[in-house]
Chain A
Amino acid sequence: MSPTLAGWLQVSVLVGALAACYRPLGDWIAHLFTSPRHLRAERALYRLTGVDGDADQRWPVYLRSVLAFSAVSVVFLYVLQRVQNHLLLSLGFPAVKADMAFNTAVSFVTNTNWQSYSGESTMGHLVQMAGLAVQNFVSAAVGIAVVAALIRGFTRSRTDRVGNFWVDLTRVVLRLLLPLAVVLGLVLVAAGAVQNLHGLTDVHTLVGGSQSITGGPVASQEVIKELGTNGGGFYNANSAHPFENPNGFTNWLEVFLILLIPVALPRTFGRMVGDNRQGYAILSVMAVFWVASVALVTFFEAQHHGAAAQAAGAATEGKEQRFGIAASALFAASTTLTSTGAVNSFHDSYTPFGGGVTIFNMMLGEIAPGGVGSGLYGMLVLAVVAVFVAGLMVGRTPEYLGKKLGAREMKFASLYILTTPAVVLVGTGLAMALPGERADMLNSGPHGFSEVLYAFTSAANNNGSAFAGITVSTPWWNTALGLAMLVGRFLPMVFVLALAGSLARQQPVPATEGTLPTHKPLFVGLLTGVVLIVVGLTYFPALALGPIAEGL
Chain B
Amino acid sequence: MPSPTPTEAGPAGAATLGPVPQPAGTPGRDSGPHRVSGGLLEPGQLLAALPGALRKLDPRVMVRNPVMFVVEVGSVLTTGSAVADPSVFSWSIAAWLWLTVVFANLAEAVAEGRGKAQADTLRRTRTDTTARRLVDWAPGRTGAAEEEVSATALRLGDTVVVEAGQTIPGDGDVVEGVASVDESAITGESAPVIRESGGDRSAVTGGTKVLSDRIVVRITSEPGKTFIDRMIALVEGAARQKTPNEIALNILLASLTVVFLLAVVTLQPMAAYAGAPQTLVVLTALTVALIPTTIGALLSAIGIAGMDRLVQRNVLAMSGRAVEAAGDVNTLLLDKTGTITLGNRQAAEFLPAAGTATGELADAAQLSSLADETPEGRSVVVLAKEKYGLRARQQGELGHAVWVPFTAQTRMSGVDLDEDGTVRSVRKGAAGAVSAWVSDNGGTVGADVGELVERISASGGTPLVVASREGDAAPRVLGVIHLKDVVKHGIRERFEELRRMGIRTVMITGDNPLTARAIAEEAGVDDFLAEATPEDKMALIKQEQAGGKLVAMTGDGTNDAPALAQADVGVAMNTGTMAAKEAGNMVDLDSNPTKLIEIVEIGKQLLITRGALTTFSIANDVAKYFAIIPAMFAAVYPGLDRLNVMQLHSPQSAITSAIVFNALIIVVLIPLALRGVRYRPSSAASLLRRNLWVYGLGGLVLPFAGIKLIDLVVQFVPGLR
Contacts and interface: CB of A to CB of B under 8 A. Distances in A.
B611 A512 contact: no
Nearest to B684: A394
Contact of A549 (B254, B274, B622): B274
Given A537-B290, A544-B629, A393 B687 contact: yes
Interface stretch (B7-15, B58-66, B98-106, B639-647): B639-647
Interface string B254-297: 11101110111111111111100000000000100010000000
A529 B625 contact: no
A549 B260 CA distance: 21
A308 interface: no
Interface stretch (B241-249, B354-362, B578-586, B650-658): B241-249
Interface in A519-549: 520, 522, 526, 529, 533, 536-542, 544-545, 548-549
A429 B265 contact: yes
A406 B245 contact: yes
A407 B273 contact: no
Contacts of B625: 537, 540-541
A213 to B, nearest CB: 40
A415 B252 CA distance: 9
A515 interface: yes
Interface of A is mostly: helix
Nearest to A448: B273
B637 A422 contact: no
Contacts of A389: 252, 611, 614-615, 618
A516 interface: yes
A442 interface: no
B610 interface: yes
Interface residues of A, number: 63
A514 B503 contact: yes
Contacts of B685: 516-517, 520, 522
Contacts of B695: 393
A421 B264 CA distance: 12
B252 A395 contact: no
Contacts of A509: 330, 548-550
B687 A407 contact: no
Nearest to B639: A552
Interface in A421-449: 421-422, 425-426, 428-430, 432-433, 438, 446, 449
Interface in B209-259: 244-245, 247-249, 251-252, 254-256, 258-259
A513 B683 contact: yes
A539 B263 contact: yes
Contacts of A537: 260, 290, 618, 621-622, 625
A540 B628 CA distance: 11
Contacts of A14: none
B259 A390 contact: no
Contacts of B603: 395
Contacts of B615: 389, 393
B501 interface: yes
Given A512-B502, A522-B688, A533-B619, A549 B639 contact: yes
B604 interface: yes
A421 B273 CA distance: 20
A395 B605 contact: yes
A552 B260 contact: no
A545 to B, nearest CB: 5
A170 interface: no
B111 to A, nearest CB: 19
A544 B632 CA distance: 11
Given A395-B327, A540-B629, A390 B611 contact: yes
Contacts of A429: 265-270
Interface in B581-625: 603-605, 607-608, 610-612, 614-615, 618-619, 621-622, 625
A406 B502 contact: no
A393 B688 contact: yes
Given A429-B266, A429-B270, A544-B629, A390 B688 contact: yes
Contacts of A390: 611, 688, 692
Contacts of A391: 611
A545 B274 contact: yes
B244 A410 contact: no
Contact of B267 (A385, A446, A542): A542
Contact of B255 (A397, A414, A522, A533): A414
A395 B679 contact: yes
B435 interface: no
A410 B254 CA distance: 11
B173 interface: no
Given A396-B328, A529-B696, A533-B618, A513 B500 contact: yes
Contact of A449 (B266, B273, B612): B273
A392 B611 contact: yes
Contact of A514 (B259, B260, B683): B683
Of A406, A522, A541, most B-chain CB atoms within 10 Å = A541
A507 interface: yes
B633 interface: yes
Interface centre among B248, B260, B500, B633 (most CB of A within 10 A): B248
Contacts of A538: 259-260, 263
A430 B256 CA distance: 21
Contacts of B640: 544, 548-549, 552
B303 to A, nearest CB: 13
Contacts of B251: 407, 410-411, 414
Contacts of A428: 266, 270
A438 B262 contact: no
Contact of B503 (A397, A507, A512): A512
B529 to A, nearest CB: 19
Nearest to B286: A541
Contacts of B503: 512, 514
B639 A432 contact: no
A394 B252 contact: no
Contacts of A413: 252
A426 B268 CA distance: 11
Given A394-B687, A397-B607, A544-B629, A406 B548 contact: no
B633 A549 contact: yes
Task: Give the residue among B264, B265, B273, B603 with the most A Cβ atoms within 10 A.
Answer: B273
A453 to B, nearest CB: 8
B493 to A, nearest CB: 16
A421 B261 CA distance: 11
B262 A407 contact: no
Contacts of B248: 388, 405-407, 409-411
A537 B272 CA distance: 21
A509 B324 CA distance: 16
A51 to B, nearest CB: 35
Contact of B548 (A417, A438, A507, A529): A507
A508 interface: yes
Among B244, B260, B324, B328, find the residue whose CB has the most chain A CB atoms closer than 10 A. B328
16 contacts: A389-B618, A390-B688, A396-B604, A410-B252, A422-B259, A425-B263, A425-B266, A432-B270, A509-B550, A510-B547, A512-B504, A514-B330, A522-B692, A544-B629, A549-B274, A552-B642
In the A-B complex, the 3 residue pairs with the closest CB atoms? A392-B611, A514-B502, A395-B604
Interface of B: 244-245, 247-249, 251-252, 254-256, 258-260, 262-274, 286, 290, 324, 327-328, 330, 499-504, 547-550, 603-605, 607-608, 610-612, 614-615, 618-619, 621-622, 625, 629, 633, 637, 639-640, 642-643, 679, 683-685, 687-689, 691-692, 695-696
